[in-house]
Structure 1
Amino acid sequence: MAKEIWKPGTVLYPVPAVMVSCGTMDGEKNIITIAWTGTINSDPAMTYISVRPERHSHKIIKETGEFVINLTTRELVEKCDFCGVKSGADMNKFEKCGLTAAKGSKVNAPIIYESPVNIECKVRDIISLGSHDMFLGEVVAVNVSGEYMDETGKFHFNDARPVCYSHGEYFEIGESLGKFGFSVKKKK
């Protein structure tokens, strides 16, 4: 089968579909939907988000130096999409979406209480890349919903029905195909 050659582009899919909350608990709060995010370091734990400079949240994150990555579930996907197509300059997205802005444990930026995982971050660096600026964030706290914890302390995020984004569509993550290392595990 022949391969087509495309011009360079962003075709690394699927990617996480997350809601990033920013601002302060006692001031302006906002939510922006981000698909360009990921893990970049283990120790210290670091992540990134890439945001266009003209987006309302860009200025807020740059000024406060904090943001929270809130993982999205099937239950939250419509609100996630809304927060990506509407501007926080025109409305309070927490109120419009019926989401709870709760105090984070280490940052002043609000967490989205309804999200099962909230990753609190402090900006370590901002790298201008062209169309987007990359905010490198050090993870300073992770909040997880107790409803997905079992009696042994294991967190079962898949029970929350997580969502990813691929080529303009949202998908629920589904069937497990194997655990890390299964390809080399000795057969019984």
Structure 2
Amino acid sequence: MRKSDLARMWEFFRLLYPCQVALITAAHGGRRDVMTSSAMPVSFKPPLLAVSISPKRFTYELIKAQGEFVVNVAPRSLMDKALLCGLKSGREVDKFEEVGLTPGRAKRVDVPIVEECLAHLECRVVREVEAGDHSLFIGEVLAAYAADDMLARDDDGIALWDLTKAEVLLHVGGAYFTVARDMVRSSVKYSFFRSA
């Protein structure tokens, strides 16, 4: 297999795609916003995840002020709306209204969820880490819930997406997206509890 260097080093992130599309919601002082991004698990105990957001973004300002955010897992049906959320600024418009998303009440934080999403991870910021032109918000997951009919269980009984039902939206790059439609199991004997 022949391999070539990328023409522009900043394109490196595309080699890590596709990645799950998350609609990050934030609110403070009567203002709310939703932006397109992704999230990364950081720790099981305590349950932590990270989102990377530019300090130039309105969502960044709201998270910084409120200390809370929600990671909403987007389905394929939200592809166009997710792309629009990444193209518009929440300083200028209420993106919930502008793109037609339904805000819902979160369980543990004072930030709206996106009702149309498959799952919601409500987070409290425990740390901010400057990382180049972005900042990582490390959030403790205070509540995590998903559409029951979209989940399956692995051999250890741990929830995972039933990819025959849940069309979890994956971003390939630019205006290109995909969904995973099948799941294959490795022949390697595995237990989450043994590896955790």
Where in structure 2 are the equivalents of 1:61-100 lying within 5 Å? 61-100=63-102
Where in structure 2 are the equivalents of 1:1-188 lying within 5 Å? 1-6=1-6, 7=9, 9-10=12-13, 11-24=15-28, 27-35=30-38, 37-148=39-150, 156-158=161-163, 159-168=165-174, 169-178=176-185, 182-185=186-189
Gaps of at least 5 residues in structure 1 are none
Alpha-carbon distance in structure 1 between the residues aligned to 2:83 and 2:126 = 28
Deviation at 1:18, TM superposition (A): 1.0
Calculate the TM-score normalised by the size of structure 2.
0.83
Deviation at 1:155, TM superposition (A): 6.7
Deviation at 1:94, TM superposition (A): 1.0
Alpha-carbon distance in structure 1 between the residues aligned to 2:53 and 2:63 = 10
Deviation at 1:119, TM superposition (A): 0.5
Count, aligned residues: 179
Structure 1 vs Structure 2: percent identity of aligned residues?
29
Question: Could you tell me which amino acid in structure 2 is paired with residue 5 of structure 1?
Answer: D
Alpha-carbon distance in structure 1 between the residues aligned to 2:136 and 2:40 = 11
CA RMSD of aligned residues (A): 2.2
Change over 3 Å in CA distance of 1:162–1:40 after alignment to 2: same
